Structure 1
Amino acid sequence: MPRLTRNIATLSGLFIATIQALPAQAYELEIHGSNTVGATLAPMLVTGYLKERSEGRVSAKGTGQENEQILSTRLNNRPMEVLVAAHGSSTGFKALAAGQADIWASSRPVKPSEAEQFRTRADLTALESEHVIAIDGLAVLVHPSNPVSQMSIDTLGRIFSGQIRNWSELGGPDLPIHLYARDDRSGTWDTFKSLVLGKTYTLDGEARRYESNDQLSDDVSRDPSGIGFSGLASVHNSKLLAISEGNAPALRPNQLTVASEDYPLSRRLFMYTAGSEIPSLAAGLIEFALGQDGQALVAESGFISQNPIAVRPEFDDSTPDSFRRLTGNYQRLTVNFRFSEGRTKLDNKARRDLQRVQQYLARNDRSSGDLLLIGFADTQSHELRAQMISELRALSVRKALQEADVPDVAYTGYGQYMPVGGSGSPRNGRVEVWIKSRQP
């Protein structure tokens, strides 16, 4: 891909922008977009990838502009530099569309309008363009001294719209509530706006806005009246709240609840490319990020790796005895299989997770006979319909695993019971993966 300057005329809704081709620093790879991805995770992935390819060390320096880094090394006895510019998810799409970025880092999925603008070059919703590099939980933060420990999504929306203005209304101290929010260019803001505010609430004008997750979290941790939201990797010294949706139990973001996307404010972190016809350096970085070593760096960065692990969930009083008996000799893998809109085929992440399950079995000397798939459905008009849908979902995953050389996996359906979201939430329609506990 030819290198263009970083002076780009304003995009005015048209796909083709006017680009000033002035002499400027050329980079072998440019990643533009999300601050959530670009602040720490993307530089760590670039560094890990370059260390595999180069003989020397990888150094980092700023560009003189906030939230930008240059990663430098020598490859084939030549200097090489990679730019990571983390100014918000929307800026990354504009850079990719303008031909400036090789990779668009985003903390939200591509919008339909963006995919349509880009369609003449590539389908950004296709497997070869859309790469889920990590799972994040949108962390709701308060000061460590705040006695409030959980709240519903609706309560959160009322707080950030200014309808609830004092912590005493929530069982906390008699203090005015101070709001901390990400800025309008942020994918974190887009996620919060979509999942919390929706069409019901509008952000209160008194909210303080931030480009940086880290700075927002640090300021909340120093303000006994504060509440804010950030990526999971930026919790730092703030207190983390458990969040509930509808009648489902409140969940704190942790390895299982976020990796499985059961946590109501879980989200996927993406890298988008212009299809598969991209520079080899960009293609190699994507492959590294999605692989075992790259996902280990994801975990090290504070986000949630997609490498499956087996854990024993903590059941609460709402867990039916029948489900306790069903899973009594099993642990749960930190992966759920979910379906694309229309619920007929597995989404892009699920298609890659098929390989991850196969690799997990091989690494841990386990067989397909150790697995159990449990399907779930959202609330239906009739219990038998929900049972049928949940079983068909599990059967669909079983067939997909068979094609990935994981044959004859046991499966069952659990109907519309044990929802993880409110009625109608797509998160309720899922297939969990359980594995037999090793005998001592």
Structure 2
Amino acid sequence: MITLVRAAVCAALFLFQGVQFAAAQDVALTSRDGKIELSGTLLGFDGTFYRVETEYGELTIDGSGVDCAGPGCPNLENFVAELWLSGSATMGKILMPALIDAFAARNGYSATRQDEDENSFTFVLVDQKTNKTVARFMFRASNTDEGFADLLADEADIVMSLREMRPDERQRAREAGLGDMTGPNRSRVLALDAVVPVVSASNPVRGISPLMLARVFAGQITNWNVLGGPDAPIDMHLPDDSSGLAQAITDQVLRPAGLDLAETVTRHAFPADLAEAVAKDPFAIGITSYAEQRDMSVLTLTGTCGFALDVSRRAIKTEDYPLTAPMFLYFPARRLPQTAREFLSFTRSPTAQIVIRRAGFVDQTPEEIPIEDQGNRFTNAITVAGADVTLEELQRMTATLKPMARLSTSFRFEAGSIRLDAQSRSNVQQLARALEIGQYDARRLLFVGFSDGDGAGRANREIALRRAEAVRRAVIKAAVTANLDRVTLDVDAFGEAMPMACDDSAWGRQANRRVEVWVR
């Protein structure tokens, strides 16, 4: 018979994260005064909190106030933090090991990798001073779909994903008791990448519009002569359809055009295989990630208006290149072990950003871009000048921005929505943290709104201004501990005055709708 004092138990309940996926065993937790006893099946322990399945449901108990008895009780003196990570092989096999090695070196740990099979391995962290094991990071590195399946089955603490969680997955997460996975602190952008069309270096085609790219992979364009190339059939190559990258390609390339993927596409389980197939075939085209472009030629994204967008590290960071692919970490609302929390905090540090960049991915360190390094942006502004974008407005924009530098931190919106996209939501938190540590004290930040060219110029400028104000409010709300008296946060908007891409496609219009941050 279990005796419970309601108030005492409620006081003991805290959020918990950090499931240890060993065999569940029975425990009995008794308060130090002996008045409260709670028994059930131990689901996890993070070094401080017990997570127990009881007849009252899943409860979380502060270990400092109870004694544990039973076969499932952990060793409190030699507790080893355990963390299960599942999902993208690209993240699990390349990026995360590099970050773990750097984290271990910074904290005086040794990190030893223990391989179990092709996709499963464990990093064991040992304190070099005491020779005690402090943590085990256990990986299942296969694909994004498997990662979310493991999370929903309560067999993973963190999902490594190359795409955003989809609506059906979010719904299943709610049904599984994981809460709202779109909520704050439920996901994090770890690094940045992009989706890029690639061809053999011997292929004469050097550019393609996003719409033509979609039509190629939908099977509507089958010969290179339509794209200005030779009279030869097009061979298509994509990553395996269970990978997050392949799903991001579908979401970003085909879905905006309302097209479905052709059945004649050749799939590849590994990026290296795709690269090899495309590189040796002059009539092949593939879509891969920026980090995996290898010896292939990346096609420039073009448009009918003459604007062109080349992929680069900076263009990905600013989202000026429209086919960006953030790399996500997802986790349920449970408390992680301390070592795991410290590792996640480390992934945001300047040291971690260097590691991310060295691993071939795009980091999130804000950069200040001088106005003379703005490429063709001001040329584009002159090109579209007319009735809606007057000479006076261009002069005002130039006078406003000339003394300033553009931050690589930009904000864009989901298609057909006023909601910031995933990378931009991460940028809100990043900029807020910078304000909290005083990085921009005694400086002026200007949130500048831009729009696409659909509609009247005056209305577009007003919409862009409201978006800039909304981003400013979001950053201020997130910067809880910042002293905003030490920094000036202003807003302005220039509507359609500085387009990044052509307005003749959904991709171009989405690239043009943005809020930039300029600093002085």
CA contact (8 A) 1:375 1:391 kept: yes
1:400 shift after superposition: 4.6
Corresponding residue of 1:226:
284
Distance 2:114 2:307 in 1: 45
Corresponding residue of 1:172:
229
Corresponding residue of 1:63:
116
2:166 matches 1:111: yes
Q: In terms of mean alpha carbon deviation, does 368-377 or 292-301 score higher?
A: 368-377
Q: In terms of mean alpha carbon deviation, does 139-148 or 106-115 score higher?
A: 139-148
Distance 1:248 1:38 in 2: 40
Matching residue within 327, 331, 346 for 1:273: 331
Corresponding residue of 2:21:
3
1:170-192 deviation line (CA, Å, top 9, x unaligned): 22234332211011211111111
Corresponding residue of 1:97:
152
CA contact (8 A) 1:368 1:409 kept: no
Cα distance change of structure 1 residues 310 and 97 upon mapping to structure 2, 3 Å threshold: same
Corresponding residue of 1:215:
273
1:357 shift after superposition: 4.4
Paired AA for residue 187 in structure 1: G
Q: In terms of mean alpha carbon deviation, does 388-397 or 421-430 score higher?
A: 421-430
1:152 shift after superposition: 0.8
Cα distance change of structure 1 residues 431 and 355 upon mapping to structure 2, 3 Å threshold: same
The TM-score, its normalising length taken from structure 2, stands at: 0.72
SS, match of residue 329 in structure 1: coil
CA contact (8 A) 2:464 2:494 kept: yes
- % identical aligned pairs: 27
SS, match of residue 418 in structure 1: coil
1:216-242 deviation line (CA, Å, top 9, x unaligned): 223322222221122211111111112
Corresponding residue of 1:296:
354
1:401 shift after superposition: 4.7
1:33 shift after superposition: 0.8
Paired AA for residue 138 in structure 2: L
2:405 matches 1:331: yes
Distance 1:82 1:205 in 2: 39
Distance 1:328 1:255 in 2: 24
2:431 matches 1:351: no
Matching residue within 302, 314, 319 for 2:375: 314
1:4 shift after superposition: 4.6
SS, match of residue 192 in structure 2: strand
2:209 matches 1:152: yes
2:472 matches 1:414: no
Cα distance change of structure 1 residues 310 and 44 upon mapping to structure 2, 3 Å threshold: same
Corresponding residue of 1:17:
none
1:360 shift after superposition: 9.0
Cα distance change of structure 1 residues 244 and 368 upon mapping to structure 2, 3 Å threshold: farther
Paired AA for residue 318 in structure 1: N
Paired AA for residue 71 in structure 1: F
Corresponding residue of 2:95:
41
Q: In terms of mean alpha carbon deviation, does 409-418 or 252-261 score higher?
A: 409-418
Distance 2:264 2:81 in 1: 40
**Unmatched runs of 5 consecutive residues or more in structure 2:** 1-18, 24-79, 383-393
Q: In terms of mean alpha carbon deviation, does 200-209 or 317-326 score higher?
A: 317-326
1:278 shift after superposition: 2.7
CA contact (8 A) 1:36 1:231 kept: no
1:27 shift after superposition: 9.1
Corresponding residue of 1:129:
186
CA contact (8 A) 2:445 2:488 kept: no
Distance 1:231 1:192 in 2: 9
**Unmatched runs of 5 consecutive residues or more in structure 1:** 6-25
SS, match of residue 298 in structure 1: helix
Distance 1:356 1:289 in 2: 14
SS, match of residue 495 in structure 2: coil
Corresponding residue of 2:462:
388
Corresponding residue of 1:194:
251
Paired AA for residue 172 in structure 2: Q
The TM-score, its normalising length taken from structure 1, stands at: 0.84
Distance 2:107 2:179 in 1: 28
CA contact (8 A) 1:4 1:100 kept: no
Matching residue within 220, 237, 243 for 2:301: 243
Cα distance change of structure 1 residues 300 and 345 upon mapping to structure 2, 3 Å threshold: closer
Corresponding residue of 2:36:
none
Corresponding residue of 1:87:
142
Distance 2:362 2:180 in 1: 27
Distance 2:247 2:419 in 1: 27
SS, match of residue 341 in structure 2: helix
Paired AA for residue 411 in structure 1: V
1:105 shift after superposition: 0.5
1:47-74 deviation line (CA, Å, top 9, x unaligned): 2223333432x23354332x44433332
Q: In terms of mean alpha carbon deviation, does 144-153 or 308-317 score higher?
A: 308-317
Distance 1:208 1:48 in 2: 37
Cα distance change of structure 1 residues 396 and 51 upon mapping to structure 2, 3 Å threshold: same
Distance 1:368 1:343 in 2: 31
Cα distance change of structure 1 residues 152 and 171 upon mapping to structure 2, 3 Å threshold: same
Q: In terms of mean alpha carbon deviation, does 210-219 or 303-312 score higher?
A: 210-219
Question: Which of the two has higher C-alpha Rg?
Answer: 2
1:368 shift after superposition: 5.0
1:336 shift after superposition: 0.6
Select the structure with the greater relative contact order (CA < 8 A; seq sep ≥ 6): 1
1:154 shift after superposition: 1.0
Distance 1:102 1:402 in 2: 31
1:247 shift after superposition: 5.1
CA contact (8 A) 2:20 2:83 kept: no
CA contact (8 A) 1:183 1:211 kept: yes
